[in-house]
Amino acid sequence: MHAHEPLLADVISLNGRWRGGSLALVTETEQLNWRTLDARANQVANGLIDAGCGKGERVGIVMANGAPMVEVMLGAIKAGAIVTPLNTSIADEAIAAMLDDAGVKALFATFGYAGRVSGMAGCATLRVCAGEASGWIDYAGWRDAQSDAEPNVDIAPGDVCNIIYSSGTTGLPKGIVHTHACRFNTAHDFAHTLRYHCGARTLIVTGLFSNISWASMLPTVLNGGTLFVRAGFDPHDVLETIERERITHISMVPVQYQRLLEHPDFERFDRSSMQAMMCCGAPLPIAVKERVFETFRCGLIELYGSTEGIITTLAPEEAPGRMASVGKPLPGEDIAILSDDNRVLPCGETGEVIGLSRIVMQGYWNKPEATAEAMWIDERGRAWLRSGDIGRIDEEGYLFITDRKKDMIISGGQNIYPADLEAVLMRHPAVADCAVFGIPSEKWGETPLAIVVLREGACAKGDDVRSWANSLLGKQQRIHAVELRDSLPRNANGKLLKRELRAPYWPGKQA
């Protein structure tokens, strides 16, 4: 006899059955209990299956935060389809590249984005829009025409649950693949570490396409709590909602905590309901962390990790005296530090952070070589995930991140890949060479700076090149400034020496 392994699809159904009258989802315009949310997820699932977009098919989601997006994501999970939510703030060509890379069979949009994506995803046979849009099926009408009976789908733990794209960029996208078992385990492990329970009243102010939002959504769903989903982040609205709705849990990026603390009416609001606050997505300035501890009784859980699946957290009780640490791995998971020649290093030595965990991705969608490059196999044959980050573990087992191996810029919690910005700049007729890297920003943590070499005889101003490039980039990728130089430093093999360029902007830090 085999034990039944529950998956997220089962959890949603069981919440509908056992927690049916409890509040499940609250948005600016709707309130749904678990019975209704489960029924709507079933309708979406049955609609997908009837349209031939069920098990194993990719469901592209280009939607604003709201009840329809939650229903579509949960419905796709119940259909055994592969949830593929996309960052709505990126450039059109990047969205098109991701939809094509995933090969989406169904495409869901909200009214504001339908026009942008209407000509994309040529292989999509089902196109549904929340709001009336020409050439699209109306979401509410489509959903309500479907059966709300439990869909008859056999989902195995190893089946793919979602693809989340790591780069909201114009380069070659990498889709991070998680299985149903992985996502159930993520819900369980995050619920344990981030202190979720059935009374959780979780506020989500980041895009539902982001794994940061899934880190809040999954444990809330697992426990049958309540999701309070906002259209976006507004510090006054967050404070007001915490007080009015007695919010218990929230996950935000550092710049959001900073803006919350800087709000002129911050002290006026009752924040005593908060039980657990998580910060992730970028390094959190120690001064901001300390201020959160001073102003919120529950303190802060800092989470370091990647969508791919390495996670550590610094619990509030462990933070005093080690505010610069990002903590320890989740229970049942392991991390180590790897040298350049692939040896595991002892405590105190610096190298690449690697992790072994049951919530690590299955791999990158259709990219076996990139998946292999992201793994290190130990002598027992176990695959550890490489983070690309440089760190050290102290004698007490606390992880400290000291640098990034990758050139990735983290601005306002969003990942920006310099190579993608450089590819756009190189399309400018006056640009001969360029390099993009992050420089310090009080508002965003980091912001992209471009160093540009003009073609011989070309005449262009840095500001003009910046404006031109920014018109082609997504909102969160925009270049802060362009500096013109005669040449860029390169080694004998022609490799760009970014460290030399970066060093003057980060005094006292490893470039």
Q: Would you kindly state where each structural domain of the chain is located, as residue ranges?
A: 8-179, 328-404, 409-505
Task: Determine the CATH number of domain 328-404.
Answer: 2.30.38.10
Query: How far lies 112's CA from each of 71, 89, 132, 492, in Å?
Result: 18, 12, 10, 50
pLDDT at 510: 47
* Topology given in CATH for the domain delimited by 409-505: GMP Synthetase; Chain A, domain 3 (3.30.300)
Question: According to the model, what pLDDT value does residue 169 have?
Answer: 36
* pLDDT at residue number 500: 86
Average pLDDT over residues 159-172: 74
pLDDT confidence of residue 168: 41
Provide the Cα torsion 13, 195, 414, 182; round to 10°: -50
Say whether pLDDT at 163 is over 60. yes
Q: What is the pLDDT of residues 414-428, one digit of tens each?
A: 878 787 788 899 899
pLDDT tens readout for residues 465-509: 999 999 999 888 999 999 999 999 875 445 678 878 988 998 866
Model pTM? Answer: 0.84
User: ∠156-157-162 over CA atoms, to 5°?
Assistant: 100
Q: Is the dihedral of CA 456, 461, 464, 465 positive or negative?
A: positive
| 123-151 pLDDT per residue, tens | 999 999 999 999 999 999 999 999 999 99
Tell me what pLDDT residue 56 has.
98
Q: For residue 31, what are the β-bridge partners?
A: 26
Lookup: tokens for 354: 């690697």
User: Which tokens belong to 245?
Assistant: 């709705």
Q: What is the DSSP letter of 473?
A: S
Q: How confident is the model at residue 41 (pLDDT cuts 50, 70, 90)?
A: very high
Q: What is the per-residue pLDDT for 493?
A: 47
What's residue 494's pLDDT?
Answer: 52
pLDDT per position as a tens digit, 75-121 = 999 999 999 999 998 889 889 999 999 999 999 999 999 999 999 99
**Which pLDDT score is estimated for 167?**
55
Q: Residue 407: pLDDT above 80? A: no
209-264 pLDDT per residue, tens: 999 999 999 999 999 999 999 999 999 999 999 999 999 999 998 889 989 999 99
The pLDDT tens digits of the residues spanning 349-399 come to 989 999 999 999 999 999 999 999 999 999 999 999 999 888 999 999 999
User: What pLDDT is stored for residue 79 in this prediction?
Assistant: 98
Summarised one tens digit per residue, pLDDT across range 247-257 is 999 999 888 99
Q: Which of the 8 DSSP states describes residue 332?
A: T
> Is CATH 3.40.50.980 the classification given to domain 8-179?
yes
Instruction: Kindly report the average pLDDT of the chain as a whole number.
Output: 93
Q: Are 59 and 163 in contact (CB under 8 A)?
A: no
Mean pLDDT of 323-335: 96
* Interval 270-325: pLDDT, tens: 999 999 999 998 778 888 999 999 999 999 999 999 999 999 999 999 999 999 99
